Amino acid sequence: MPCVLVVDDEPGVRESLRMLLKGECDVVVAGSVDQALDVLARTPVDLILLDLVLPGRSGLSLLPELAERGPLPPVVVLSATRTVATAVEAMKLGAADYVTKPFEPGALRIKLQRLLAGRDLEREVLRLRDEIQRRTRLGHLVGRSDVMQEVFRTVERLAISKANVLITGESGTGKELVARALHELGPRSSGPFVALNCAAIPDTLIESELFGHERGAFTDARDRRIGRLEAAHGGTLFLDEVGELSGAVQAKLLRALQERSIERLGGTASVPIDVRFVAATNRELEREVAAGRFRSDLYYRIHVVGLALPPLRERREDIRLLCEEFLARAQVEAGRGPTRVSPSVLAAFERYSWPGNVRELENVIERAVALAEGDVLQLDDLPRNLVHSDRVGQLHEEVRRGQIGLEDAVGRFESALLLEALERSAWNQTRAAELLGITRRLLKLKMDRFGLQPQGPLVAATAVPVGALRPNEPSTSVPAGTTSESDSASPGSARWPGL
């Protein structure tokens, strides 16, 4: 049953309103603004009937104070004053409606029912909005795709468990975000979350990082140092790239997992630890175990429960949502930047293979926001390799749909590669040939074939599609199946990454 607060200094009015709403609402009363604030501090209400003329302070003074506390419940102002200015002022301060005394009971009841129904609808909208928000994110994880929804459900189930978890997935898929969500949603959320990237610490230092050391344990050990295992006591330890640990460290970690205690380097005292272990790797640890590079007993200790994260190319429907998230974040950090992405950019993002996964998408948007000049992120703001890759994807689609022939597609692809190499090398033909792994003579022949030449201050060029060549124009391409010394890669030439 909804609760209504009646704020009026006349006992007769308070009682008549109580009787009017009896059976439909719970009614609480107050005779002044201060009494109303005391009631509101103790009781959540769904609607307020507020008289303007009150002892001490005017009823209007209550409205700004209520607004400072958060969203206002509907407020209906009661007054014997028929001044329009008073009604307008009350509305400006947040009142939902205005009723003059004496009021007609039936009309007032209908008005209150309408406002309470609107309040219920507003709450339902907020509930649905929270539900939608919950469905598209979990902690710092974002996604509405089926595979991410399954990840969300698994994380929620595992968060309340004590089992050690091994998170697998390609680099950049968000393994640390999952580990943090497991910690923040679980019973250890009030404890520390300690992360260690095992691949970033040299073998000579990893033991000290994990287990700590006593003073004098080695040459530079001037003081006692607490390790990550000890620092995570009462919380969660996240070991990223656990597959990079050496055999000796694996053995010591296994012992810590089994005995729930450690010894600092150079020490003899056993230090108990209460830690939940979450590990992650982009390797296939089962193969590493089979090859003898990872201990099987440690593998089964950390892999009580496995959680595989999908690469971004398998959850393309999340790209738009991730774009919005990263664009808003990059705008705040840069203090400026585009407010949205163009349809062409979004289409390019959805076609791109994203070998670096979500982390690569975030970096691309951060870079684009820093360099972009307009309000809309355009293709020109993206890295060339991403746009080039998108062009290759477009060629594939055009060939698959029968829109262009194979010869034209190969020519356009070759022309795009030449143009990008020339632009990367500032149109230095020798360097461009080295990037492409061909001789300078062959590069020049191909440049003439496709009509590639610098324009202006060496910042742009025009590529002529194969299909645009005149039929009687002699071809400078080398016939299939023939080679010459001049056409082969020059000795010691550096192949261009990605070609």
Q: Are residues 306 and 351 in the same domain?
A: no
Domain co-membership, 259 together with 350: no
DSSP code string of 105-163: HHHHHHHHHHHHHHHHHHHHHHHHHHHHHHHHEETTEE--SHHHHHHHHHHHHHHT---
What pLDDT is stored for residue 82 in this prediction? 57
Ramachandran bin of 81, using left for φ above 0, alpha for ψ from -120 to 50, beta for the remaining angles: beta
**Residue 279 falls inside a structural domain:** yes
Asked if the structure places residue 469 within a domain, the reply is no
- Cα torsion at 349, 353, 355, 357 (round to 10°)? 50
Calculate the CA dihedral of residues 431, 433, 437, 439 and round it to 10 degrees.
-130
In a domain, residue 363? The reply is yes
pLDDT at 186 over 60: yes
What six digits make up the tokens of 476?
Answer: 């400078």
What are the φ/ψ torsions at residue 132 (nearest 5 degrees)? -65, -40
The confidence band for 430, taking pLDDT boundaries of 50, 70 and 90, is very high
Percent of the chain with pLDDT over 90: 35
CA distances from 248 to 141, 272, 344 (A): 35, 21, 52
Final residue belonging to a domain, choices 349, 382, 415: 382
End-of-domain residue from the set 290, 310, 330: 310
pLDDT tens readout for residues 262-299: 988 888 888 999 999 999 999 999 999 999 999 999 99
CA–CA distance, 50 with 6 (Å, rounded to integer)? 6
pLDDT at 397: 58
CATH code for the domain in which residue 221 is found: 3.40.50.300
**Residues 162 and 234 placed together within one structural domain of the fold:** yes
Contact (CB, 8 A) for 451 and 462: yes
Q: What are the backbone dihedrals phi and psi of residue 488, each rounded to the nearest 5 degrees, phi first?
A: -85, 165
With cut-offs at 50, 70 and 90, classify the pLDDT of residue 390: low
Residue range 222-233: average pLDDT?
88
Higher local confidence (pLDDT), 70 or 361: 361
Q: What is the rounded CA–CA span in Å between residue 465 and residue 460?
A: 16
Task: Quote the pTM value.
Answer: 0.56
- Report the residue count for the chain: 499
Residue that terminates a domain, selected from 86, 107, 128: 128
In what helix (H) or strand (E) does residue 165 lie, and over which residues does it extend? Answer: strand 165-168
| Same domain membership, residue 358 and residue 300 | no
Contacts of 102 (CB under 8 A, 6+ apart): none
Given the DSSP bridges, would you call strands 75-79 and 47-51 parallel, antiparallel or unpaired? Answer: parallel
> Do residue 217 and residue 252 come from a single domain?
yes
Which residue range forms the structural domain that includes residue 29?
3-128
Residues 6+ apart with CB under 8 A from 410: 466
Tell whether 207 and 274 lie within a shared domain: yes
Is the residue at 335 inside a domain? yes
Confidence bin at 455 (pLDDT 50/70/90): low
Of 336-345, 359-368, 417-426, 458-467, highest mean pLDDT: 359-368
Q: Do 303 and 319 belong to one domain?
A: no
Q: Taking the alpha carbons of 144, 150, 152, 156 in that order, is the dihedral positive or negative?
A: positive
**Between 471 and 437, where is the model more confident?**
437
In a domain, 402, yes or no: no
Number of domains in the chain: 3
Task: Tell me the CATH number at 25.
Answer: 3.40.50.2300
264 membership: H or E segment, kind and range: none
- Considering the domain boundaries, does residue 72 fall inside one? yes
- Quick: pLDDT tens for 323-337: 999 998 888 888 877
68 is written with which tokens? Answer: 């400072």
Neighbours of 490 (CB within 10 A): 17
499 domain-assigned:
no
Q: In which region does residue 113 sit, left (phi positive, over 0), alpha (psi from -120 to 50) or beta (all else)?
A: alpha
From CA 367, how far away is CA 360, in angstroms rounded? 10
Alpha carbons 27 and 268: distance in angstroms, whole number: 70
pLDDT of 474 reads 38
Of 55-64, 308-317, 332-341, 441-450, the range with the lowest mean pLDDT is 332-341
Same domain as 159, residue 242: yes
Q: Please tell me what DSSP assigns to residue 58.
A: -
334 and 284 both lie in a single domain: no
Closest CA to 238 of 187, 193, 298, 200: 193
pLDDT of residue 254: 94
CATH number at residue 318: 1.10.8.60
Q: Which residue has the higher pLDDT, 377 or 471?
A: 377
| Residues 209, 234 within the same domain | yes
Three-state DSSP class for residue 218: coil
For residues 326 and 355, state if they share a domain.
yes
First to last CA, the chain: 70
Q: Which comes out higher in pLDDT, residue 497 or 166?
A: 166
DSSP count for the chain of H helices, then E strands = 19, 18
* CB 115, CB 87: distance < 8 Å: no
CB distance 277 to 179 below 8 Å: no
Mean pLDDT, the chain, rounded, equals 81
The number of angstroms, rounded, from the C-alpha of 389 to the middle of its chain's C-alpha atoms is 24
| 484 pLDDT more than 50 | no
Read off the pLDDT of each residue in 259-264 and give the average, rounded to a whole number: 90
Is the pLDDT at 167 greater than 90? The verdict is yes
CA distance 31 to 11: 8
Question: Is residue 408 within 8 Å of 396, Cβ to Cβ?
Answer: no
Same domain for 302 and 218: yes
| Of the candidate ranges 47-51, 262-266, 454-458, the one whose mean pLDDT is the lowest | 454-458
In a domain, 57, yes or no: yes
